[in-house]
Homo-oligomer: A and B are copies of this chain.
Amino acid sequence: MTVPTKIDTWQMVEPGKLVETSIDVPALQEGEVLVEIAGCGVCHTDVGYYFDGVPTVTKPPLTLGHEISGVVVDGVGDYAKSLIGKEVIIPAVMPCNNCDICASGRGNRCLKQKMPGNSLGIYGGFSSHIPVPAADLCVVEDRKDFSLETLSVVADAITSPYQAAMKAELKEGDLVVVTGATGGIGVYMTQIASVLGAKQVVAIARNKEKLQRSLDFGATYAISTLDKSVKDVAAEFKAYCKENKLPSAGWKIFECTGSKAGQEIALAILSFVGRMMVVGYGMQKVDYMLSKLMAFDAEIMGTWGCLPKYYPEVMKYVLDEKIKVKPFVEFRPMSQIEQAFQESHAGKLTKRIVLTPDF
C-alpha cells in the first residue's frame, strides 16, 4: 500500500477513442481519500458514453468507470485518514449532503452529486487510483471469501436496482415483473425482488437460456420475447395471470432494458394500481396515453443511482449470498478495456466484466 505520484489510466479522449496515459495525483482536499482500485465494472452507461453519444458531464478527455472497489491509501482530514488501509466500495453517485434535495432524503439525485467516470472531474474507475470524497464510502470489514474486485459491482449494478425496489416500496407478497431480467441490472433486480419477499417475479427477456438461468436466481416464471410482438408478450403475461388466478392489477414492473420494446411491454402490462419503474436507460421516445395512468391510478417512476445509506444492507445481502454475484461476474485485465467495451456494446455477454488494473 503505497501512495503513488501518478495515476495510470485509460482515458476516453473523445467518444470512441481510448488511450493509456498517466495523470498527476491531485492534492487531496479536506475529507477526500485516494483509493487504489481493485476492480471496476463495465456498465451499460459507460458503453453509452463511449459508443452512443450519451454526453458525460465532464467533457472528454476523462476516464470512464463508476463501479469501483479498492483500498484507501491516503486521506486528508480525520475521517478520511481513519479509512487508510480500509477496503471500500465507492458509491456510483455521491451526494453533496449539503443541499435542499439531500436534506429531503433524495441525495441519490442531488444536482451537485459526483459520479466517477462522469462528473467527478476527469477521474474514473478504469485507472490505478482515484481521488474521491470519503463521507459516503461503503467500508467492507469482512469480505469472507469474496475477492475485493468481485464486490465492485455492488456500486451500481446491485445498488441501483435496490434503490428502484426501495422507491417502488417493494414488499413481502408483491407481484413483480422484470423486463430485461437477464441483463446486467436485471439479474440483480430479479434477485432483489425475491429477497425482499415478492410472491411472483415474472422475468421477461429475449434469450431463452439466460431466462432459464433466471429461474434459479429469483424468477418464479419466465417469458421469452423472442419473435414475439409487444401484444403477444402482454397476452402471454395475462394468460399466465389467468391460469394461476393472479390479479392483473397491482403489479410492480421494473423496466431494466431501457429499450423501446422493453418499455412498450412494460406499458402494455401496466394496469390498475400498478407501478412501472424506469430502471434502464435509452434515448428513444415512446407513445403513451397518459390518461391511462389516471384511469389506473397507476404510476411511472424513474429511479436514479442509490442512496449511500443503502450500501451496507446491500453488501450484507451479497456477503450472505442472498443476492448472488459470483455467477454473474468475470474478470479481465484493464488493458483489454476496448474489447470489453465492444463485447458489452454488442450485448453478447452473459456476465458483467470487471476490469482489474494491469498498468
> Which chain B residue lies CB-closest to A260?
B290
Which of B106, B280, B288, B291 meets A258, CB within 8 Å?
Answer: B291
Q: Which of A209-217, A300-308, A342-350 contacts B (4 or more CB under 8 A)?
A: A300-308
Interface bits A309-335 vs B (CB < 8 Å: 1, else 0): 000000000000000000000000000
Least CB separation from A108: chain B residue: B297
Copies of this chain present in the complex amount to: 2
Whether B290 contacts A263 by the Cβ 8 Å rule is yes
Instruction: Tell whether, in the assembled complex, residue B291 and residue A288 are in contact, meaning their CB atoms are under 8 Å apart.
Output: no
Q: Give the residue among A100, A280, A293 with the most B Cβ atoms within 10 A.
A: A293
A305→B280 CA distance, assembly (Å): 31
The B-contacting residues of A in range 75-130, CB under 8 angstroms, are 100-101, 104, 106, 108-109, 111
In the assembled complex, the Cα of A111 lies from the Cα of B305 at a distance in Å of: 35
Give chain A's interface residues, CB within 8 Å of chain B: 100-101, 104, 106, 108-109, 111, 247, 249-250, 255, 258, 263, 272-273, 278-305
Chain B residues within an 8 Å CB radius of A255: 290
A104 to B273, CA, bound (A): 10
Return A115 CB to nearest CB of chain B, in Å: 12
Residues of B within 8 A of A283 (CB): 289, 291
Most buried by B among A249, A255, A263, A290: A290
Contact B109–A297 (Cβ < 8 Å): yes
Distance of A302 Cα from B296 Cα, bound (Å): 7
Further 12 A-B residue pairs, CB within 8 A, beyond A101-B273, A282-B291, A286-B287: A100-B247, A106-B273, A109-B297, A111-B272, A278-B290, A278-B293, A286-B290, A294-B303, A295-B304, A296-B302, A297-B304, A300-B301
